[in-house]
Copies of this chain bind each other. A is one copy, B any other.
Amino acid sequence: MSTPYEISGQSYVGENLKRGSDRIFHSFNSASASNTPWEFFEANEALVDEACLLAKEAFKSFQQTSDQKRALFLRAIADEIEAWGDNLLAVFCMESSLPLSRARVERARTCHQLRSMADWIVTSKHAEAVIETSNNGDRPDLRKMMVPIGPIVVFGASNFPLAYSTAGGDTASALAAGCPVIVKSHPMHAATGEMVASSIIRAARATGMPNGVFSNLNASSYEVGKALVLHEAIAGVGFTGSLGGGRALFDLAASRSKPIPVFAEMGSTNPVVFFEGALNDEDVRQMWVEKMADSMSAGVGQFCTNPGLIFAVDSESLTAFIHALSERLNSVQAGDMLHPDIFKKFNQGVTDFVGQPGVVEHTNAASGTNFSASSRVLEVSGSVFCDNPNLHHEVFGPMSLVVRCADVEQLEMVVASLGGQLTGAVMGTTSDFETHKDVVEALKQRVGRLIYNGVPTGVEVNAAMQHGGPYPASTDARFTAVGVQSIKRWQRPISFQNCPQHLLPEVLRNENPNGVMRLVNGEFSSRHIE
């Protein structure tokens, strides 16, 4: 595979490429309105079963690999992805219709995720070691650490062909934990998926990982995903996508005779609240017009953190802001959406919103080529918004609804009417935040990340990031999908009671040569235990 065009169209069942069925599907280039040159073979239940049993077998040895060895594996995956050079980026662009600049940024993020998780596990921070010694035999010696839960199924995201798909955050965190991964490749970018899958397979071989530690199944239909989630060998599920898709997987997993956890990152409208201090001064307002326009149109609005809702109390400054924002967005060139299906859904969503009583549009909806979309700014009153649940759901793409509130009380009601969100932002002066602390507090209750004077797009990948919020932003607000702590989703604690020292995992022994920070008898310590 020296060129991007040698795509087999087959699934990786462990190291082996297999067709599964003879049913074929294609990925698509929105910009040229044509299929990409490749054919993909739909996996079937036989491949699902084979991949799952292989993963179950691989788990036996993979979970016992040292953190150092798994870190080498993760770094090798990043190296292999980079080794594709521009070929991978070209395929990424063909399948997503996203620009090359975005492909570069996303590849960098993907490799950063893999390497930062490698850095994390070599310091054993993911093990969360806790030790309670026997107090001279008064009580049992108890030592606890996190261990992997088992094979994980990952559903790739349409809008992140690299960073949230084949070797994306879910895969990287599961492998870091010590869990084998089976990816249900996203059909919209199956060639990108196959290339990255081959990178993982090569990295696994090069670092001595067991066959079955990774599989990549091609499928455009629901059956393969369903069979994966219901397979007895599977211990958990990671998903990034729509509320409908995530909820369906959650329900399936909960219906199993042995239920398994599903972390689904689903819809979010990422409300942005503008207080007076961000609107009244003309220069400040103009800055926010520019920043918001950039955030709203970035990636043709196809980000889970796209700002879909703007809240503010009625004022002339707000009117000026809306007009300036709409004008600016009218001048942004329409961008190609990822896929005709997404384009169609976006248009349907905008049409549905515009058709609701009391909704007006401020933008021109300039028509572009093929499946390109321009940004849309709509407006509705706070009272109508509160009463109409049809205005609360996410429209995936570059559309924002401004909710003009009669007063601060209504603004608080509007915020309180929201479902869970990945992010919420407040724009204003510190004094605004203090004056309106009830609004800020109400927003805080509903979000995973509370942003002060910043747009919601742009997700830092580090230990302090929370990406995931109360339902329906995600199925379990107690975990993050981004950053090193996303590893926690795929781990469970185990306690060893009175285990002989040399039979303990290294991180729990009295000797602590690497100075791992542990909770010892209730206090943090990186020292040896005497």
Q: How many copies does the complex hold?
A: 2
- Name A296-326 residues within 8 Å CB distance of B: none
What B residues does A462 contact at CB under 8 A?
132, 142, 522
Are A497 and B447 in contact (CB-based, < 8 A)?
Answer: no
Task: State whether the Cβ of A430 lies closer than 8 Å to any Cβ in chain B.
Answer: yes
Cα–Cα, bound, A56→B101 (Å)? 47
- How far, in angstroms, from A488 to B489 measured CA to CA in the complex? 13
Beyond A130-B464, A450-B496, A452-B497, 19 additional contacts (C-beta under 8 Å) are: A131-B464, A132-B463, A132-B464, A140-B454, A142-B460, A144-B466, A149-B470, A149-B478, A258-B419, A258-B472, A448-B495, A450-B494, A452-B496, A462-B522, A466-B494, A470-B492, A477-B492, A485-B493, A517-B517
Assembly CA distance A503 to B430 (angstroms) = 9
- CB-contacts of A356-387 with B (<8 A): none
When A259-B475, A434-B503, A522-B463 are in contact, do A447 and B142 touch as well, CB less than 8 Å? no
3 cross-chain pairs, A with B, having the tightest CB-CB distances, nearest first: A142-B464, A254-B254, A466-B495
Please name all residues of chain B whose beta carbon is closer than 8 Å to the beta carbon of A498 when the two chains form the complex.
451-454
Contacts of A452 in B (CB 8 A): 496-500, 503
A339 proximal to B (CB < 8 A): no
A519 touches B132 (CB 8 A): no
A494 CA to B449 CA, complexed, in Å = 6
Task: List chain B residues, Cβ under 8 A from A130.
Answer: 463-464, 485
9 residue pairs A–B, Cβ–Cβ below 8 Å: A125-B519, A140-B458, A144-B464, A258-B471, A434-B503, A452-B500, A477-B492, A478-B491, A517-B517
Interface flag for A250 (CB, 8 Å)? yes
- Give the CA-CA distance A466 to B128 in the complex, in Å: 13
- Measured between C-beta atoms, what is the minimum distance from A112 to chain B in Å? 12
A493 vs B497: C-alpha distance in the bound complex, in angstroms? 30
Chain B residues within an 8 Å CB radius of A480? 493
Q: Which residues of B contact A479 (CB under 8 A)?
A: 493
A475 to B465, CA, bound (A): 27
| Chain B residues within 8 Å of A407, by CB | none
- A493, B448: Cβ atoms under 8 Å? yes
> What per-residue 1/0 map shows which CB atoms of A132-151 lie under 8 Å from chain B?
10000001101110000100
